[in-house]
């Protein structure tokens, strides 16, 4: 009987140990941003192949100009695109670093763009101050990796609206987006896209009051893409 009691005690101890270990793992995963949802209650893509991957983020207009400028009725500047882009880019970089990605932040015409090689590059911008709502994204029209870039675009068009609630606004994708200057500067094998995260007019509250939610949408899109590339690599 003593032997049976010891066995039962060992089993109970093992169960407690397993539960404790699982709890610690869950807490650690959530602290690293790998849980099922973040503080905003928005589903994250989960554990992904981001560890030690090189991710490049362009903070739109940084180091060059202010981008779109919003003014009030008196002509006073109330908001600039560059400041919105910078805040969201910084929050996005923070989220990606928490899951192990190596993130480089770039200015609009950063010298490091020339020949840049990375797992992915995303340039973050915001649209004009008009009373409209929605996001849009584009990849290089003349890319030599069209299928890869399309997977990146698909991830943006799926993950970004899921996190932000913004509708697509595809009919306003411009020539300046599909032939964005950075696309011609980076290594042609670097997957890249430009994202207009929303309108400074109609989406101002989201962009300025909930930047973490927008950053989640951006990072989720990037993580989605890195996962898809890992899956493609495993198929080879």
Q: What angle do CA 208, 105, 89 make, to 5 degrees?
A: 15
Cα–Cα distance, 158 to 135 (Å, whole number): 12
48-235 belongs to which homologous superfamily? Zn-dependent exopeptidases (3.40.630.40)
Give the dihedral sign, CA 232/173/199/65. positive
Q: In a structure prediction context, what are the per-residue pLDDT tens digits for the chain, which is 236 residues long?
A: 555 554 565 554 555 555 555 444 444 444 444 443 444 433 344 445 788 899 999 999 999 999 999 999 999 999 999 999 999 999 999 999 999 999 999 999 999 999 999 999 999 999 999 999 999 999 999 999 999 999 999 999 999 999 999 999 989 999 999 999 999 999 999 999 999 999 999 999 999 999 999 999 999 999 999 999 988 777 76
Q: Does residue 195 contact residue 218 with C-beta atoms inside 8 Å?
A: yes
Phi/psi at 46 (5° precision) = 90, -170
HSE, side-chain direction, 13 A CA sphere, residue 222: 35
- Coil/strand/helix, residue 155: helix
Cα–Cα distance, 150 to 154 (Å, whole number): 6
């Amino acid at each position: 009987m003593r032997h049976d009691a010891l066995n039962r005690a060992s089993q109970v101890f093992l169960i407690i140990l397993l539960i404790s270990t699982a709890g610690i793992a869950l807490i650690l995963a959530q602290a690293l941003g790998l849980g099922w949802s973040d503080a905003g209650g928005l589903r994250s893509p989960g554990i992904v192949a981001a560890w030690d991957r090189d991710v490049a983020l362009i903070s739109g207009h940084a180091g060059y100009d202010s981008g779109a400028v919003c003014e009030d009725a008196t002509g006073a500047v109330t908001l600039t695109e560059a400041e919105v882009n910078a805040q969201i880019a910084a929050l996005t970089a923070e989220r990606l670093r928490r899951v192990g990605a190596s993130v480089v932040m770039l200015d609009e015409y950063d010298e490091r763009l020339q020949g840049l090689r990375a797992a992915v590059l995303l340039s973050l911008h915001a649209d004009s101050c008009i009373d409209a709502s929605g996001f849009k994204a584009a990849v290089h029209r003349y890319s030599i990796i069209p299928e890869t870039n399309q997977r990146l675009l698909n991830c943006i068009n799926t993950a970004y609206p899921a996190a932000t609630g913004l509708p697509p606004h595809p009919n306003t994708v411009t020539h300046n987006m599909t032939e964005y200057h950075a696309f011609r500067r980076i290594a042609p094998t670097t997957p890249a896209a430009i994202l207009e995260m929303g309108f400074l007019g109609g989406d101002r509250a989201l962009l300025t009051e909930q930047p973490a939610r927008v950053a989640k949408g951006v990072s989720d899109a990037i993580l989605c893409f890195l996962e898809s590339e890992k899956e493609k690599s495993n198929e080879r």
